[in-house]
Amino acid sequence: MVLQYIKPTCLTCKMLPNMRAVAIISKPQKPELHRIILEVIDWLRARDYRIYLDNETGAYLSGYESTPRERIAERDLDFIVLFGGDGTLLSAARAVACKQVPIIAVNLGSLGFLTEVPLSELYPTLEEAHRGQCPIEARGMLRCELLRDGETVAQFDALNDAIVTKSAIARLASFDVYVGDNFVSNYLADGVIVATPTGSTAYSLAAGGPILTPSVDAFIITPVCPHSLTHRPLVVKDTSKVEIICRSDERGAFLSIDGQIGMPLQIDDRVVCSKSPYQVKLLRMRKTFFDVLRTKLKWGQR
């Protein structure tokens, strides 16, 4: 059960059934968040919001209840305030995508393609969200199923990517790749990435893949250090099913989701990637995707 978070000294707060609700999700080990979170809680209370904290946020405070991040979406939330980098957002997105709760992502990381709101713009952005005037951008997700002996043994939804890769001590791994019923190729490589447009600026970009604008309805198939120089990234419609068959034994390959969770693969395992029924909704500043690219990638700067 997710509990209601009331500061012990606040004995006169009125918790009415029609009150709006906000959750706060945070990156751990950021001492500066103690002060920032308390100030945000005061701001939200002044506007009669119920407030819920994940365990990482609760660790910064005393006297507040908290709950595991994966259960935050059990509450009927108006939006989420997230403090962290893109990794924190990826984790939160998988936890709340099923309810499509809008997220204000405040950047505390180093790069932050997704967490674009700087601390200096936190309260203007909160005010716009409170008034229902903050732009919302929906980002598509990837559904990844792991099939073993014809049975689904695991299923994940990813905002960035699903990656099949060699294990740390393995040589080149072998993967067969299909798009729909069409055989594409056998890849001898360090790995194969299937990325969403959002994930096009993540590992796929580092591996030589293209940048896609978030509105493009496509997936990117990007080989990682392929043995053949003619194996290049491939863009396909997101209505396609991309299937990767592992031809390496259980010591040779691993499935990774958003670079955060995963499991080892066995020979002949099938990783099937398709469009997820869920989307992640980001409450944004009024910047374009190209504004973000210019800022983050230092385009046009000498």
Active site residues: 86
Distances (CA, A) of 73 to 13, 135, 268, 293: 23, 21, 36, 31
Give me the residues paired with residue 157 across strands.
Answer: 143
* Contact status, residue 238 vs residue 214, Cβ threshold 8 Å: no
- The CA-based diameter of the chain, rounded to the nearest angstrom, is 69
Give the pair of three-digit tokens for residue 158: 């990813």
d(CA 149, CA 216): 34
Beta strand segments in 123-233, E: 136-148, 151-158, 161-166, 173-179, 182-189, 191-195, 218-224
Give me the residues paired with residue 155 across strands.
Answer: 145
Q: Which of 158, 141, 108, 151 is nearest to 262 (CA)?
A: 158
Which uninterrupted H or E stretch holds 124? helix 122-130
